[in-house]
Amino acid sequence: MIEVKGLSKHFNVPIKVSGLSATIKHFFNRQYRRVDAVKALDFSIKEGEFVGFLGANGAGKTTTLKMLTGLIHPSGGSVNINGHTPFDRKKEFLQDITLVMGQKQQLIWDLPAMDSLRINAAVYEISKGDFDERIEELASMLELKDKLTSPVRKLSLGERMKAEFMAALLHRPRLLFLDEPTLGLDINAQSAVRRFLKDYNTRHNATVILTSHYMADITTLCERVLIIHEGGLVHDGVLSELIENFAPFRQVKVELGSDVDKETLSKYGEVESLNGAEARLTVRRDELTEVVSKLLSEQNVLDLTVTDPPIEEIIGRVFQKGSVS
Amino acid sequence: MKYLRLLRLFLSTSIQAEMEYRLNFVIAALSSIGGLAGSLFGLSLFYRGNDVLGGWVWDEALVVLGFFTLLQGVSASFLSANLSKIVGYVQMGTLDFVLLKPVDSQFWLSTRAFSLWGIPDLLLGTFIIGLAGTRLGLGPLDYLSALFPLLCGLVTLYSLWFMLGATSIWFVKVYNVTEVLRKTLEAGRFPITAFPAAWRIFFTYVVPVAFMTSVPAETLLGRGSAPWLLGAIVLAATLSVIARSFWHFALRFYTSASS
């Protein structure tokens, strides 16, 4: 479905200077520095795949996504999506794709979402019958039915994001590009969006490419992850492999009945922080159950949570070790 | 068909959205009445002691002012409402959404919004042309004949404005540039022949203001000449073609706002 060969993009960025005379000189004779945002990417994605795109800020994720959607023109290499070159922006290609960006919105702020949806229906030439049916389907999948007639500015962030999904998916695209779609949502809204995406993916055999900073987005949705670092691909494979290799640890947060010292805690795991009766420990995944049960029986535990290390940390480890093969 | 339906939706959603801010409309009406009164006063100063100015009598000059007011109304309602937003689309990165839709991006950017603000000017302009025309004894055919050059003038103005908007792809902040264009167009409130020769050349060939108000007015007054009319057509056609290819050229440089 998607074939990417040697895809690269460089930008010429003006070199910033400080000081008045230097600024004046800069104004007349601008010096540029070449920045390679994406360097010779090669990968292919099959129909129906759910792929996570990971990388630190500025790694080249969004640039790659924008070249795949045809928004920006590659400096080199090629992208082939179902026989189309994205930048040509052929109608048949655009009918088939969508882009959802967590921090940008296409809905009209002052009007009910329904008005924006009607405009999209006209753009994609969706018949009245299909429109009603799809609105019904999407609204029930997203549990948003009664909110479509109130102005977008009055919706909560979670509701707004769901409405954005409706606008983005009304034309039943078979290829979805999602750039941080759960950004800023609370836990409930995040998991609702995740459930919806999984549902849409299976129901329509849609291909989904997702970037996210939330580990849970990636772990619950993506079978395969591509990791980009400094514009190059450093990992392409199943997620469990990545976690095994680079994050064999879990974070355990405990709150105890009384203050403890570091010594007592360090027999359970590596103590990352200790603040009176609250502590954060790093524990190996294979010892997790044992450690947690020991903690619960030996200490007066008021509260205990186990979390994955943040995705940045895992990626950080990947980068430290360099390429994985 | 698809584009007609979109136009209807764009119009209705824009009006709905504008209705949320009703006071704006009252202010717009007051400001266009004030602006027109100022122009009338200015024009009357030139005519004090003169019957004819650059070959135009008072009522004929009023026709030019009428076309100018009309043009301002069109600018506020259609051009400014849409084209000034291109800058915002580029800055916010929401141009992405427009570009990813199977719809002509120039069409979307040029028609998406409609502002009620221009309506007072549209009404006043029509009223002045009608008033001066009646005093000059013009007939329906005269009005009809002026429609075509007026349309050409509008296309010319639109194309210039759209190209300036398109430069925001490179410069992002070009509010000032469109402001310069607006100010230059102010010259259109007076007949072109009222200006000294050097300015006449500037307003005809550099910023073609002459084609926007003076040429339609002359046609309406039955003084239109073939070379000027032909010029208006050629200019409008050429500029709209250039504007379109310029937009597609500019898009190659679009880098999209980073997230």
Compare all CA atoms of chain A with the CA of B96 and give the residue at the minimum distance. A71
Whether residue A48 contacts residue A201, with contact meaning beta carbons closer than 8 Å, is answered with yes
3-state secondary structure of A53: strand
CA B119 – CA B140 distance, rounded (Å): 23
Flag if A119 and B103 touch (Cβ within 8 Å).
no
Q: Looking at the complex, does the CB of residue A179 fall below 8 Å from at least one CB of chain B?
A: yes
Task: Dump the DSSP string for A34-45.
Answer: EEEEEEEEEEEE
Which of B227, B203, B206 has its CA nearest to residue B214?
Answer: B203
Percent of chain B at pLDDT > 70 equals 96
Considering only CB atoms, B255 lies closest to which of A72, A108, A111, namely A72
Segments of B41-106 assigned E as strands: 52-53, 56-57
By C-alpha distance, the chain A residue nearest B252 is: A73
8 Å CB contact of B9 and A125 = no
Q: Which residue has the higher pLDDT, A128 or A188?
A: A128
d(CA B164, CA A310) in angstroms, rounded, equals 46
Q: Give the pLDDT confidence score for residue A247 in this predicted structure.
A: 67
Q: Could you tell me which chain A residue has the CA closest to the CA of B249?
A: A73
Strand partners, A254: A279, A304
Distance from CA of B99 to the nearest CA of A (A): 7
**pLDDT, tens digit (0-9, with 9 covering 90-100), for A74-127:** 999 999 999 999 988 899 999 999 999 988 889 988 899 999 999 999 999 999
Give the residue from A10, A75, A106 with the most B CB atoms within 10 Å of its CB, the best one to mutate: A106
pLDDT of residue A324: 41
Query: Which residue shows structure tokens 């007051």?
Result: B30
**pLDDT (tens digit per residue) in A220-241:** 899 899 988 888 888 888 877 7
H or E segment to which residue A178 belongs:
strand A175-179
Quote the pLDDT of residue B157: 92
What share of chain A has pLDDT > 70, as a percent? Answer: 94
Q: Do B13 and A119 touch (CB under 8 A)?
A: yes
Chain A residue numbers with beta carbons less than 8 Å from the beta carbon of B113 are: none
pLDDT tens-place string over residues A45-73:
999 999 998 887 778 888 899 999 999 88
Q: Can you say whether residue A106 is alpha, beta or left, with left for phi > 0 and alpha for psi between -120 and 50 degrees?
A: alpha
Q: Which residue of A has its CA nearest to B248?
A: A88
3-class DSSP state of A108? coil
CB contact under 8 A, A11 and B9: no
pLDDT in tens, B153-193: 999 999 999 998 888 888 766 666 667 777 777 778 888 87
Query: A278-284 and A97-101 as β-strands: parallel, antiparallel, unpaired?
Result: unpaired
**Dihedral angle at the C-alpha atoms of A80, A85, A87, A93, nearest 10 degrees?**
-100
First-to-final CA distance of chain A? 24
pLDDT of residue A309 exceeding 90: no
Q: Is A183 on the interface with B (CB under 8 A)?
A: no
- CB pairs below 8 Å between A and B: how many? 74
pLDDT at B258: 52
Q: What is the pLDDT of residue A325?
A: 36
Chain B residues in contact with A11 (beta carbon < 8 A): 255
Tell whether ipTM is more than 0.95: no
Distance CA B217, CA A93 (A): 48
Residue A97 in contact with partner chain B when CB distance is under 8 A: yes
Q: For residue range B56-94, what is the model confidence (pLDDT) as tens digits?
A: 888 898 999 999 999 989 988 998 889 888 888 888 888
Residue B209 above 60 pLDDT?
yes
* Mean per-residue pLDDT, B127-133: 93
Q: State whether A111 and B17 contact (CB < 8 Å).
A: yes
What integer is the mean pLDDT of A275-302?
Answer: 88
Q: Would you call A123 and B2 a contact, using CB atoms and an 8 Å cutoff?
A: yes
Q: What is the mean pLDDT of residues B112-139?
A: 90
pLDDT tens-place string over residues A164-177: 999 999 999 999 99
Is A71's CB within 8 Å of B16's CB? no
Chain B residues whose C-beta sits inside 8 Å of any chain A C-beta: 2, 5-6, 9-10, 13, 16-17, 20, 92-94, 96-97, 99-103, 252, 254-256, 258-259
Q: If you measure CA to CA, which chain A residue comes closest to B105?
A: A89
For residue A315, name the pLDDT band (cuts at 50, 70, 90). Answer: low
pLDDT score, position A321: 56
Contact flag A108-B256 (C-beta cutoff 8 Å): no
Instruction: Assess whether pLDDT exceeds 70 at residue B13.
Output: yes
With CB atoms and an 8 Å threshold, state whether B259 touches A180: yes
Domains of chain A by start residue, with CATH: 45-244 (3.40.50.300), 248-307 (3.30.70.980)
Whether residue A115 and residue B13 make contact (CB cut-off 8 A), yes or no, is yes
**CA B187 to CA B150: how far, in whole Å?**
16
Beta carbons of B96 and A99 less than 8 Å apart: yes
Tally of residues, chain B: 259
Confidence category of residue A213, pLDDT binned at 50, 70, 90 = confident
- Which residues on chain A are in Cβ contact (under 8 Å) with B254? 71-72
pLDDT at A197: 93
Q: Which of A95, A110, A122 sits opposite B2 (nearest CB)?
A: A122
**Mean of per-residue pLDDT scores for chain A:** 87
Q: Tell me whether residues B6 and A119 touch, CB distance under 8 A.
A: yes
Mean pLDDT to the nearest integer, A294-301: 88
Q: What is the pLDDT of residue B25?
A: 75
Q: Is A210 in contact with A53 (CB distance < 8 Å)?
A: yes
What's the distance, CA A105 to chain centroid? 16
Residue B206: is its pLDDT beyond 90? no
